[in-house]
Amino acid sequence: MEGQQTTTRATAVLPVTTLSQPLLLGTKSADDLEAQPQLTTYHAAGGGTTSFSRTCLNLTNAVSGIGVLSMPYAVAQGGWLSLALFALVGAVCYYTGTLIERCMRADPAAIASYPDIGKFAFGAAGRRAVAFFMYAELYLVAVSFLVLEGDNLDKLFPGATIELMGGYRMQGKQLFIALAAAVVLPTTWLKNLGVLAYVSAAGLVASAVLTASLVWAGVADETGFRGWSATTSVLNLAGVPTSLGLYFVCFTAHAVYPTIYSSMKNNRHFSKVLLVSSVLCSLNYGFTAVLGYMIYGDDVQSQVTLNLPSGKLYTKVAVVMTVVNPLAKYALLVAPITAAVEERLALPSGGGAARVGISTVIVFSTMVLASTVPFFGYLMSFIGSFLSVLATVILPCLCFLKIYKAEGIRRVEIAAITGILMIGVFVAVTGTYTSLQQIIATF
């Protein structure tokens, strides 16, 4: 009877939303869980079905994103010594990830998502603040996806032009941004995104193939690895804020940590999963950064794929892998935003016409913004410096301190968290100011 009462309370406070669904389900299919809403809610409360190895795949896929393309550019901005800051950022983000896990343990029946942590710590205002920054980050990452598509497809098909009615012509980057938006639009209308979640797991393969393409380029390209001694710098203090922002982008997956935590069979092993995923992603990011900067030096572009010579087979492979991954993940990014708008407007969740209308407006707005953003690297630096630092550093630390203040926190840990908060505030202020200056200067 007591177990039944616990389940009933969980059902009352944990509505089934996109944010409370695991990226890759365990033994049950997405259709099975959709047909059993009470069971799905129970899983969200911490009784998941996902194994340790499957959770490692989920989390690695969540952490490993398009930030890998900007890693060589990040090193070029800060110099070789900035890689030490990359290691520091990785360690800080791992620790703040464990803080999120500990916040989840504070009340498993009431906390199933990142906004729930904000509410548990600071009430309704905390939920709204966390949700706002989380959705803003998702929205801007969706914009960066379209920018990425436009840049790389323009490289793959240079000179493409389409004549529209009234003599208006679309060409180059803007044309491919519009085409990418048209391709992803129907996927945002789907109510069940389980299939797309499986497709998005191909991002791990895409990252590995991209790294292999860079090795191939270093061996076969005329530039080779001369950048190591010719056109690289040891330290560039002026570029450090940009580097830090881009490094934080690489680890910005904290918003989905509660979802993945709740999906585990045994969530007490989450810290181990987080460690494995952080190490794997850090090795991939670091290897790509070193390879790209060694090959192209300070001439490396904001997306290393844009440096690869046109017409080469390894270039085509790298660009195709770069293009496919965001197309598969775009709908997963905007789904929580669509659900939030539906909830705000008191519309029926998953309603056909409402969902189509809202998601269409969201896609169109990201397309317009992507067409006006002049430089991918500056946008990613802004996302990392402002939104990612808030989501991965500042908010987890503040929520943890608020939740566990009454129980007592060791002085050593308070000192460590205070130091991390100071780093986060510094990066947020300097990085945001620098990236905004760079974006404005390009217009």
Cα distances (Å, whole numbers) of residue 254 to 64, 249, 268, 393, 415: 12, 11, 17, 9, 22
Average pLDDT of 434-441?
80
Tens of pLDDT, residues 150-203: 888 887 788 788 877 766 778 888 889 999 999 889 888 876 555 555 555 666
Q: What is the CA 281 to chain-centroid distance, rounded? A: 13
Structure tokens at 85: 């800051």
What is the distance between the terminal CA atoms of the chain, rounded to a whole angstrom? Answer: 65
> Which residue in 63, 53, 26, 41 sits closest to 269, CA to CA?
53
- Cα-Cα-Cα-Cα dihedral of 163, 146, 203, 317, to 10°? 40
* Selected residue with higher pLDDT from 125 and 408: 125
Cα distances (Å, whole numbers) of residue 103 to 159, 237, 391: 52, 36, 14
Mean pLDDT estimate for the chain: 78
Helix (H) or strand (E) holding 171: strand 169-171
Structure tokens at 241: 């804020």
Least confident of 25-39, 77-91, 200-214, 408-422: 25-39
Question: How buried is 136 (Cβ within 10 angstroms: 0-12 exposed, 13-18 middle, 19+ buried)?
Answer: middle
Average pLDDT of 216-231?
62
Tens of pLDDT, residues 40-78: 333 334 456 777 777 777 777 777 767 788 899 999 999
Tens of pLDDT, residues 374-403: 666 677 778 878 888 888 899 999 999 999
Does residue 37 have a pLDDT over 70? no
Axis-axis angle for helices 352-372, 172-184 (nearest 10): 160
Give me the sign of the Cα torsion angle 316, 321, 327, 328. Answer: positive
Does residue 346 have a pLDDT over 90? no
Axis-axis angle for helices 352-372, 114-156 (nearest 10): 60
Does residue 418 have a pLDDT over 90? yes
* Selected residue with higher pLDDT from 122 and 12: 122
Q: Are 388 and 81 in contact, with CB atoms under 8 Å apart?
A: no
The predicted structure's pLDDT at residue 190: 73
The predicted structure's pLDDT at residue 12: 34
* Selected residue with higher pLDDT from 419 and 140: 419
For residue 17, what are the contacts with CB-CB under 8 A and spacing of at least 6?
A: 113, 336, 339, 349
> Could you give the CA distance from residue 254 to residue 391 in angstroms, rounded to a whole number?
7
Q: Is the pTM of this model over 0.85?
A: no
Strands 161-163 and 169-171: antiparallel
* Selected residue with higher pLDDT from 252 and 132: 132
Tens of pLDDT, residues 92-144: 999 999 999 999 999 988 888 889 999 999 999 999 999 988 888 888 888 88
The predicted structure's pLDDT at residue 249: 83
Kindly list the domain boundaries of the chain, sorted by start residue.
Answer: 67-93+135-257+271-441
> Could you give the CA distance from residue 122 to residue 398 in angstroms, rounded to a whole number?
10
* Selected residue with higher pLDDT from 182 and 259: 182
